[in-house]
Amino acid sequence: MNVKKLLFSLLLMFVAISADASERVKLTGSQIVDRVRGYEVIAGVSNQAEYNFMVVAYSNGTREVYWNDGLKSGTDKGTHRIAGDQICVTWQKSFAGKEQCFEVFKIGESKYESWNNGKLAFTYYKIR
């Protein structure tokens, strides 16, 4: 299956992602590390730029993103590290190559939110 078809399929699966604030549980740095054993695949929606994405994150600190905003699609590669209770991500192209750090909240079974500087950045599902 090509990336565009996979992204479209994931979009259909994750169109309505929401949660009540009372269900939100902040993950610690060690819980984030445990979540990425071997590798993980997440798929979701950017709450700021309105695009759909799929990320494959590896326990060696590397990651790949596949995204689609409805008009165009793309890929990027990057790295991540844990800093306290945040995951910090640097992409080669996205965010002008600048590191972005996020607090991660579990909001339901396999559902998460990432917050950056007090603003909701991403809502997503862990699918592996």
Q: Greater confidence, 17 or 73?
A: 73
By CB atoms closer than 10 A (0-12, 13-18, 19+), residue 82 is: middle
pLDDT of residue 11: 44
Q: From residue 123, give the alpha-carbon distance in Å to each of 1, 2, 19, 37, 60.
A: 24, 23, 10, 21, 24
By CB atoms closer than 10 A (0-12, 13-18, 19+), residue 113 is: buried
Q: Greater confidence, 61 or 2?
A: 61
Contacting residues for 38 by C-beta, under 8 A, at least 6 apart: 58, 59
Average of per-residue pLDDT values in the chain: 83
Task: Give the whole-angstrom CA distance, residue 70 versus residue 102.
Answer: 25
Residue 79 half-sphere exposure toward CB, CA atoms < 13 A? 7
Q: What tokens appear for 61 in the block?
A: 């600190």
Domains of the chain by range and CATH? 3-126 (2.40.128.280)
Dihedral angle computed from the Cα positions of residues 46, 119, 24 and 64, in that order, rounded to the nearest 10 degrees: 40
Task: Give the whole-angstrom CA distance, residue 35 versus residue 115.
Answer: 17
pLDDT digits (tens, 9 = 90+) for 41-61: 988 888 766 788 899 999 999
pLDDT of residue 58: 93
pLDDT of residue 8: 45
Q: What is the per-residue burial (b if ≥16 Cβ within 10 Å, else e) of 1-18?
A: eeeeeebeebbeebeebe
